[in-house]
Protein backbone atom coordinates (compact mmCIF):
# COMPACT_ATOMS: atom_id res chain seq x y z
CA UNK A 1 0.00 0.00 0.00
CA UNK A 2 1.37 3.40 -1.01
CA UNK A 3 1.97 6.00 1.68
CA UNK A 4 0.83 9.49 0.71
CA UNK A 5 1.34 12.56 2.84
CA UNK A 6 -1.29 15.29 2.54
CA UNK A 7 -1.36 18.82 3.92
CA UNK A 8 -4.80 20.42 3.65
CA UNK A 9 -6.01 23.89 4.49
CA UNK A 10 -8.99 26.15 4.03
CA UNK A 11 -9.31 29.93 4.00
CA UNK A 12 -12.20 32.35 4.07
CA UNK A 13 -12.38 36.11 3.58
CA UNK A 14 -15.32 36.91 5.74
CA UNK A 15 -16.94 34.08 7.64
CA UNK A 16 -19.18 33.46 5.80
CA UNK A 17 -17.58 34.88 2.70
CA UNK A 18 -15.37 33.99 -0.22
CA UNK A 19 -13.51 30.80 0.48
CA UNK A 20 -10.75 28.66 -0.89
CA UNK A 21 -9.16 25.34 -0.12
CA UNK A 22 -5.80 23.88 -0.99
CA UNK A 23 -3.88 20.67 -0.52
CA UNK A 24 -0.35 19.45 -1.09
CA UNK A 25 -0.03 15.73 -1.77
CA UNK A 26 3.40 14.05 -1.61
CA UNK A 27 4.33 10.55 -2.71
CA UNK A 28 7.80 9.18 -3.41
CA UNK A 29 9.35 12.64 -3.70
CA UNK A 30 6.67 13.87 -6.12
CA UNK A 31 4.27 16.69 -5.22
CA UNK A 32 0.81 17.50 -6.49
CA UNK A 33 -0.98 20.73 -5.62
CA UNK A 34 -4.74 21.17 -5.85
CA UNK A 35 -7.02 24.07 -5.02
CA UNK A 36 -10.60 25.23 -5.31
CA UNK A 37 -12.96 28.08 -4.52
CA UNK A 38 -16.51 28.75 -3.33
CA UNK A 39 -18.24 32.13 -3.52
CA UNK A 40 -20.16 32.03 -0.23
CA UNK A 41 -18.95 29.65 2.44
CA UNK A 42 -17.32 29.32 5.86
CA UNK A 43 -13.80 28.56 6.99
CA UNK A 44 -14.87 25.20 8.46
CA UNK A 45 -16.45 24.16 5.16
CA UNK A 46 -13.23 25.02 3.31
CA UNK A 47 -11.15 23.04 5.81
CA UNK A 48 -13.40 20.04 5.15
CA UNK A 49 -13.34 20.51 1.37
CA UNK A 50 -9.54 20.54 1.32
CA UNK A 51 -9.41 17.09 2.92
CA UNK A 52 -12.29 15.73 0.81
CA UNK A 53 -10.79 16.85 -2.50
CA UNK A 54 -7.30 15.67 -1.57
CA UNK A 55 -8.59 12.18 -0.77
CA UNK A 56 -10.67 12.15 -3.97
CA UNK A 57 -7.50 12.53 -6.05
CA UNK A 58 -6.16 9.19 -4.81
CA UNK A 59 -7.15 6.54 -7.36
CA UNK A 60 -6.39 3.55 -5.15
CA UNK A 61 -6.50 2.77 -1.42
CA UNK A 62 -3.51 4.30 0.33
CA UNK A 63 -1.95 4.74 3.72
CA UNK A 64 -2.46 8.48 4.22
CA UNK A 65 -0.83 10.80 6.69
CA UNK A 66 -3.19 13.76 6.57
CA UNK A 67 -2.02 16.96 8.22
CA UNK A 68 -4.52 19.70 9.04
CA UNK A 69 -4.28 22.87 11.10
CA UNK A 70 -8.00 22.48 11.87
CA UNK A 71 -8.86 20.88 15.19
CA UNK A 72 -12.44 20.84 13.86
CA UNK A 73 -11.45 18.43 11.07
CA UNK A 74 -9.08 16.32 13.15
CA UNK A 75 -11.39 15.95 16.15
CA UNK A 76 -14.40 15.49 13.91
CA UNK A 77 -12.80 12.49 12.22
CA UNK A 78 -11.07 10.98 15.25
CA UNK A 79 -13.42 11.78 18.15
CA UNK A 80 -16.89 12.95 17.10
CA UNK A 81 -17.84 11.16 13.87
CA UNK A 82 -18.80 7.78 15.35
CA UNK A 83 -21.10 9.42 17.90
CA UNK A 84 -22.74 11.65 15.28
CA UNK A 85 -23.45 8.65 13.08
CA UNK A 86 -24.80 6.63 16.04
CA UNK A 87 -27.13 9.52 16.93
CA UNK A 88 -28.35 10.00 13.34
CA UNK A 89 -26.21 13.11 12.80
CA UNK A 90 -27.09 14.79 16.08
CA UNK A 91 -24.58 16.25 18.54
CA UNK A 92 -24.32 15.35 22.22
CA UNK A 93 -26.68 18.29 22.90
CA UNK A 94 -29.14 16.88 20.32
CA UNK A 95 -28.47 19.63 17.76
CA UNK A 96 -28.09 18.89 14.05
CA UNK A 97 -24.43 18.44 13.07
CA UNK A 98 -23.24 21.48 11.16
CA UNK A 99 -21.81 20.74 7.72
CA UNK A 100 -23.30 17.24 7.75
CA UNK A 101 -23.14 17.07 3.95
CA UNK A 102 -19.37 17.56 3.97
CA UNK A 103 -18.77 15.31 6.98
CA UNK A 104 -20.59 12.53 5.10
CA UNK A 105 -18.47 13.11 2.00
CA UNK A 106 -15.27 13.11 4.05
CA UNK A 107 -16.34 9.96 5.87
CA UNK A 108 -17.01 8.26 2.52
CA UNK A 109 -13.62 9.25 1.11
CA UNK A 110 -11.81 8.30 4.33
CA UNK A 111 -13.28 4.79 4.32
CA UNK A 112 -11.28 4.00 1.17
CA UNK A 113 -7.96 4.60 2.93
CA UNK A 114 -5.98 3.95 6.08
CA UNK A 115 -5.61 7.48 7.48
CA UNK A 116 -3.52 8.93 10.26
CA UNK A 117 -5.10 12.28 11.14
CA UNK A 118 -2.47 14.69 12.41
CA UNK A 119 -2.67 18.28 13.58
CA UNK A 120 -0.08 20.90 12.66
CA UNK A 121 0.07 24.42 14.07
CA UNK A 122 -0.96 26.82 11.32
CA UNK A 123 1.20 29.75 10.21
CA UNK A 124 4.20 28.36 12.06
CA UNK A 125 6.60 27.79 9.15
CA UNK A 126 5.73 24.15 8.39
CA UNK A 127 6.46 23.72 4.66
CA UNK A 128 3.42 21.59 3.78
CA UNK A 129 1.00 23.68 5.81
CA UNK A 130 2.34 26.92 4.36
CA UNK A 131 1.92 25.59 0.79
CA UNK A 132 -1.65 24.42 1.51
CA UNK A 133 -2.47 27.84 2.99
CA UNK A 134 -0.98 29.60 -0.06
CA UNK A 135 -3.05 27.41 -2.38
CA UNK A 136 -6.28 28.15 -0.47
CA UNK A 137 -5.61 31.89 -0.68
CA UNK A 138 -4.52 31.62 -4.32
CA UNK A 139 -7.90 30.06 -5.14
CA UNK A 140 -9.68 33.07 -3.63
CA UNK A 141 -7.37 35.52 -5.44
CA UNK A 142 -7.97 33.81 -8.78
CA UNK A 143 -11.74 33.85 -8.28
CA UNK A 144 -11.70 37.55 -7.34
CA UNK A 145 -9.75 38.40 -10.51
CA UNK A 146 -12.18 36.42 -12.65
CA UNK A 147 -15.22 38.32 -11.29
Which residues does the annotation mark as catalytic? 9-10, 47, 69, 123, 133
User: What CA–CA distance (Å, rounded) separates 69 from 51?
Assistant: 11
Known binding site for Mg(2+): residues?
9, 47, 69, 133
In the three-class reduction of DSSP (H, G, I as helix; E, B as strand; rest coil), residue 115 is classed as strand
CB 60 within 8 A of CB 53: no
Q: What is the DSSP code (8-state) at residue 96?
A: B
Amino acid sequence: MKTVEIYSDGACRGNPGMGGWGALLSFNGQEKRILGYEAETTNNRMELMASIEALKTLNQPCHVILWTDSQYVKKGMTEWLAGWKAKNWRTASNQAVKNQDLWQQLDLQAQRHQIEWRWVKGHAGNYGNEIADQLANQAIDQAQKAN
